[in-house]
């Protein structure tokens, strides 16, 4: 798919929704609108405390899957709105927040996604940066990349970005990450995945896939995976010149804390915090049962330490 970089395509639709709410005695403004990357619609929500002062803006880049701006994924039990909860919490701490539907979460985009690669997600993030870089309401832009979005945000960092935050970002290429995850579930799955990635690297395709792994290695996913596996977070993070904050929960079942520690090795000047009791969807949990339940139960609170670390990092860098 060809993705235009012509600035004439960085267009915004008319504002669809404007809302003001009271949160803790402070009015929070919320604006819904759509940006476009060529013919790909990227609808999002900007929220910020009402104030006459300029505010730091957080731009959130979501993880893998068909994640919408709130953190929900159609067709899955993940309907807990964890990204919106993060936005609300940071708004309450004096930060502006922009979140958007991934192109894969928008039904109108689905027939336009042939040949999609990870670099398309990078271009989507850059369009959001372009939209806000000269907005007089905001004093700076900080990128937060979560999970897959950690690498996307690394690659999207431009001169307009003042700081970069990685939450649960893998430190290795996607083939190594997936092989490690699959081996934890089943050694045979990990061995099969190793063979599939080697075949994909050699031939651009995988001929025969174990039915139990077909959803991951389906033909329509293979070009995406091959592009993704060429991009190494350990090397890419070395290219970032702005302040970096690395965050990983010690209850994360998908991305271990060793990944954040390895990214710290690649960028010794980065700030690293391992967040106690935080799982992959940013919730505070106290047991393995709670960890699993937190993916589908809205009653689990977002990690308070996560909010504190992000707020302190951005506000101090913005001084």
User: Does a structural domain hold residue 262?
Assistant: yes
Mean pLDDT, rounded, of the chain: 91
CATH number at residue 287: 3.40.50.1820
User: Does a structural domain hold residue 86?
Assistant: yes
Are residues 143 and 85 located together in one domain of the fold?
yes
Give me the pLDDT at residue 215, please: 87
Give me the pLDDT at residue 25, please: 63
User: Does a structural domain hold residue 15?
Assistant: yes
Are residues 20 and 146 located together in one domain of the fold?
yes
Tell me the pLDDT tens digit for each residue of 109-135.
988 888 899 999 999 999 999 999 999
Are residues 21 and 133 located together in one domain of the fold?
yes
DSSP codes joined into one string, 22-41: EETTEEEEEEEEEEEETTEE
User: Does a structural domain hold residue 108?
Assistant: yes
Are residues 180 and 239 located together in one domain of the fold?
no
How far does the chain reach from its first CA to its final CA, in angstroms? 41
- Residue 286 sits at the vertex; the CA angle it makes with 80 and 187, to the nearest 5 degrees, is 85
Are residues 103 and 161 located together in one domain of the fold?
yes
Tell me the pLDDT tens digit for each residue of 300-316.
999 999 999 999 999 98
Are residues 32 and 112 located together in one domain of the fold?
yes
- Beta carbons of 169 and 255 less than 8 angstroms apart: yes
Range of the domain at 191: 174-230
Are residues 141 and 289 located together in one domain of the fold?
yes
User: Does a structural domain hold residue 2?
Assistant: no
User: Does a structural domain hold residue 204?
Assistant: yes
Residue 173 burial (CB count, 10 A): 19
User: Does a structural domain hold residue 1?
Assistant: no
Backbone angles phi, psi at 294, to 5 degrees: -65, -15
Mean pLDDT of 211-223: 89
Q: How many domains does the chain have?
A: 2
Distance CA 124, CA 99 (A): 12
Domain boundary among 185, 208, 230: 230
Backbone angles phi, psi at 135, to 5 degrees: -70, 120
Are residues 66 and 101 located together in one domain of the fold?
yes
More confident residue, 10 or 189: 189
Tell me the pLDDT tens digit for each residue of 169-210.
999 999 999 998 898 889 999 999 999 999 999 998 998 999
User: Does a structural domain hold residue 212?
Assistant: yes
Are residues 129 and 271 located together in one domain of the fold?
yes
Are residues 40 and 142 located together in one domain of the fold?
yes
Q: Which residues contact 45 (CB under 8 A, 6 or more apart)?
A: 30, 31, 32, 69, 87, 98, 99, 100
Are residues 83 and 205 located together in one domain of the fold?
no
Q: Is the pLDDT of residue 5 over 60?
A: no
Are residues 146 and 205 located together in one domain of the fold?
no
Give me the pLDDT at residue 129, please: 97
User: DSSP state, 272?
Assistant: E
Tokens representing residue 84 in the block: 């919106």
- Beta carbons of 95 and 317 less than 8 angstroms apart: no
Question: 11-15, 24-28, 303-307: which range is least confident on average?
Answer: 11-15
Give me the pLDDT at residue 157, please: 96
């Amino acid at each position: 798919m060809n993705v235009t970089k012509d600035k004439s395509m960085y267009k915004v639709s008319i504002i669809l929704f404007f809302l003001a709410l009271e949160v803790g005695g402070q009015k929070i403004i919320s604006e819904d609108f759509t940006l476009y990357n060529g013919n790909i619609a990227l609808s999002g929500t900007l929220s910020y405390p009402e104030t006459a002062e300029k505010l730091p803006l957080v731009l959130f880049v979501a993880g893998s899957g068909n994640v919408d701006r709130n953190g929900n994924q159609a067709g899955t039990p993940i309907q807990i709105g964890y990204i919106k909860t993060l936005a609300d919490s940071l708004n309450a701490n004096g930060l502006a927040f922009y979140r958007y539907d991934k192109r894969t979460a928008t039904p109108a985009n689905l027939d336009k996604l042939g040949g999609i690669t990870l670099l398309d997600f990078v271009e989507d993030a850059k369009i959001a940066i372009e939209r806000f870089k000269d907005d007089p309401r905001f004093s700076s832009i900080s990128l937060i990349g979560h999970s897959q979005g950690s690498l996307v945000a690394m690659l999207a960092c431009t001169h307009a970005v003042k700081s970069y935050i990685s939450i649960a970002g893998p430190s290795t290429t996607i083939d190594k990450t997936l092989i490690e995850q699959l081996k934890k579930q089943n050694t045979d799955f990990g061995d099969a995945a190793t063979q599939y990635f080697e075949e994909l690297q050699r031939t651009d395709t995988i001929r025969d896939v174990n039915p139990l792994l077909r959803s991951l290695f389906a033909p329509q996913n293979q070009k995406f995976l091959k592009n993704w596996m060429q991009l190494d977070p350990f090397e890419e993070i070395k290219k970032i010149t702005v302040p970096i904050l690395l965050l990983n929960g010690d209850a994360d079942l998908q991305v271990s804390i060793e990944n954040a520690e390895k990214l710290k090795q690649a960028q010794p000047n980065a700030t690293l915090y391992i967040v106690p009791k935080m799982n992959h969807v940013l919730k505070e949990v106290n047991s393995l049962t709670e960890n699993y339940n937190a993916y589908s139960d809205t009653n689990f609170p977002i990690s308070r330490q996560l909010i504190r670390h992000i707020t302190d990092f951005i506000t101090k860098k913005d001084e």
